[in-house]
Amino acid sequence: MDQASELPYDERPANRNLSHMRGDYGWPFVGKTWDIFRDPHTLFDEHYEKYGPISRISITGSKCVLLLHPDYAQRVLLDREKNFSTKMGWQTVMADFFQGGLVMRDYDEHRVHRGIMQSSFKPPAMRAYATKIQAIVGKTVQRWAAQDRISFYDEVKRLLLDIAFEVFCWVDDSESQVPKISRAFTDMMEGALGVVRIDAPGFLYHRGLEGRRYLKRFFMELIDKKRASDDEDVFAHFCKEKTEDGEYYSHEDIADHMVFLMLAAHDTTTSAATMAAYYLCNDRPLQSALADEVQHWPRDLDFETIFHSMNGLIGVFYETVRMHPPVPLLLRRTIRDCEIGGIRVPADTMICVPGTYIHRLKKWWRDPATFDPTRFSEEVSEHRKHNFMWIPFGGGAHKCIGMHFARMLFLLTFRELLEKYQIEFAQEGYFPAKLQHFPFTRPLDNLPLRLVAR
Ligand code: HEM
């Protein structure tokens, strides 16, 4: 046994030797990073055609095993044999911003910590959030309609920030602090996505980490007050939750979970809403059909509608995140030697499962490059051919805890929009627009559009 393998898995260096495997690392140092930014689908397609569903690749300096098959996605995400660390997967790319968050914890520790969040997403809590979200969305859409054109991506970001301060962390006596918190949050989001990762004054990354530190302090100082309050926001739920031994979670843990939750919720949902609007603007008959459907919905949406029943709008949501999953790559690292598809994968090897490509595999999806929400209708249910061919929210123990929340937010926002307005591109001939694919998909110019009253 060499010295490195005697260390715990989260202290060992990554394995960089995959020479026994078919594949191609690309350029020295940068590997295939630029290809993935430019056009991930073409890159993965080339790998699939040349090397099959398992190959080696190098992205952002990490040598990893690329898995392009729903069976392999299932194997890794369900992880029945405890071979794949989520913490070590994300640590490589996001350690500074995700520290202490749920994806930075594995196995038993993760299960215990997920318990902190569970109560915040149960139906009674969600019902209260829905009422608040509906009110904010109503006012916001009215404001959008009063303008000649809006930059949809920026507006959705702002809307989600307003919702975050009402639903995730409501603070009645700190109006004066809200602009500061918003600034810290925006800095953190921008810094987390920065390409140049230098924690020194003048760099976006540094400003992002400063924002994160500010937010963490802010949450930590508020915990005792939240515990004593009757508040019902997500943060209050976290503060009041207890471990199996009847203890409160530590201030540090709660603050880390809040920061991670806000990071996990924001850009993902913004990207999904923006890309849905992009496809809807390009399909007026679909908009009209959806408008007819939502006219019949009760004003106060019941939770059967939001959670369980399939409808046209949910089809749009699912199809949008199929074509452009806001988390395009799922990352893990092996903690021991294992085997995938008959090929040996050494311990400490990075694993990349690109939902963004699995969602477009021709073998599994009919006409995968076409936006077609009906593939999710009850009658078609194309995604049910394999439990892991549609994985925008991941799967297994780390499956997105905010999935129903995101779906609710989506339904409430687009119901409000489509019931009263037709959404149109601000310029003729806009489609297809130039898209940015990483880190989150959006039209490069942030989707200028206008609302026209029905
Ligand atoms: C369209 C919107 C969203 C998408 C596509 C999305 C996607 C995902 C994915 C793929 C994962 C799993 C990551 C992995 O296995 O490595 C994840 C985890 C997570 N998401 Fe989401 N997410 C969305 C919205 C949200 C929202 C709104 C929240 C909070 C309200 C949220 C909170 C989380 C948290 C806390 C985790 C970590 C779960 C764990 O590790 O146990 N997400 N999300």
With the most atoms of ligand 1 within 8 angstroms of its CB, the residue from 268, 271, 319, 414 to mutate is 268
| pTM: predicted TM-score of the whole model, two decimal places | 0.95
Residue 284, both tokens: 């007026």
Q: By the 8 A CB rule, do 182 and 161 touch? A: yes
Ligand 1, atom 3: nearest CA belongs to which residue? Answer: 268
What CA dihedral angle connects 32, 34, 35 and 39, to 10 degrees?
A: 150
Phi, psi of 339 (to 5 degrees): -135, 135
Residue 243 Ramachandran class (φ > 0 left, ψ -120 to 50 alpha, else beta) = beta
CA atoms within 13 A on the CB side of 27: 8
Give me the pLDDT at residue 3, please: 58
Kindly tell me if the per-residue pLDDT of 1 is higher than 80: no
Kindly tell me if the per-residue pLDDT of 174 is higher than 70: no
Which residue is listed with tokens 């290809």? 35
CA distance linking residue 326 with residue 356, whole number of Å = 9
Q: How many CB atoms lie within 10 A of CB 282?
A: 16
pLDDT tens digits for range 7-57: 999 999 999 999 999 999 999 888 898 899 889 999 999 999 999 999 999
**Sequence-ordered strand ranges (E) for 125-168:** 150-151
Q: How many CB atoms lie within 10 A of CB 10?
A: 13
Give me the pLDDT at residue 2, please: 59
> Which residues are within 8 A (CB) of 346 and not within 5 positions of it... i.e. 6 or more apart?
15, 17, 18, 334, 337
Pocket (CB within 6 angstroms of ligand 1)? 86, 102-103, 114, 261, 264-265, 268-269, 272, 321, 325-327, 330, 392-394, 398, 400-402, 405-406
Residue 205, both tokens: 């990354």
Residue 234, both tokens: 């997500």
Task: Sort 337 into a burial class: Cβ within 10 Å, 0-12 / 13-18 / 19+.
Answer: middle
Kindly tell me if the per-residue pLDDT of 305 is higher than 80: no
Task: Sort 378 into a burial class: Cβ within 10 Å, 0-12 / 13-18 / 19+.
Answer: exposed
| DSSP annotation of 441 | -
∠ CA 215-219-220, rounded to 5° = 115
Kindly tell me if the per-residue pLDDT of 118 is higher than 80: yes
pLDDT tens digits for range 381-429: 999 999 999 999 999 999 999 999 999 999 999 999 999 999 999 999 9
Query: Which amino acid, one-letter code, is at 422?
Result: Q
Q: How many CB atoms lie within 10 A of CB 47?
A: 24
Query: Residue 62 C-alpha to ligand 1 middle, in angstroms?
Result: 23
Give me the pLDDT at residue 30, please: 86
| Residue predicted with more confidence, 356 or 305 | 356
Ligand 1, atom 2: nearest CA belongs to which residue? Answer: 269
Give me the pLDDT at residue 4, please: 63
Ligand 1, atom 32: nearest CA belongs to which residue? Answer: 402
Query: Residue 394 C-alpha to ligand 1 middle, in angstroms?
Result: 8
Tell me, rounded to whole angstroms, the distance of Cα 214 from its chain centroid.
Answer: 23
Phi, psi of 23 (to 5 degrees): 145, -170
Give me the pLDDT at residue 173, please: 60
pLDDT tens digits for range 209-263: 999 999 999 999 999 999 999 998 999 999 999 988 899 999 999 999 999 999 9
SS3 31: strand
How high does pLDDT run on average in the chain? 93
pLDDT tens digits for range 315-351: 999 999 999 999 999 999 999 999 999 999 999 999 9
Query: Residue 302 C-alpha to ligand 1 middle, in angstroms?
Result: 24
Query: 432: cis peptide before it, omega within 30°?
Result: yes
What CA dihedral angle connects 195, 200, 201 and 202, to 10 degrees?
A: -30
Rounded to an integer, the average pLDDT of 85-89 is: 97
Kindly tell me if the per-residue pLDDT of 175 is higher than 80: no
What element of type H or E holds 185? helix 178-192
Query: Residue 402 C-alpha to ligand 1 middle, in angstroms?
Result: 6
Kindly tell me if the per-residue pLDDT of 100 is higher than 80: yes
Query: Residue 393 C-alpha to ligand 1 middle, in angstroms?
Result: 6
Q: How many CB atoms lie within 10 A of CB 255?
A: 23
The candidate with the shortest Cα–Cα distance to 217, out of 255, 166, 245, is: 255
pLDDT tens digits for range 123-153: 888 988 999 999 999 999 999 999 999 999 9
Domains and CATH numbers, the chain: 3-170+231-453 (1.10.630.10)
Give me the pLDDT at residue 176, please: 66
∠ CA 134-421-371, rounded to 5° = 90
Q: By the 8 A CB rule, do 383 and 366 touch? A: no
Q: How many CB atoms lie within 10 A of CB 134?
A: 17
Tell me, rounded to whole angstroms, the distance of Cα 52 from its chain centroid.
Answer: 27
Query: Residue 367 C-alpha to ligand 1 middle, in angstroms?
Result: 27
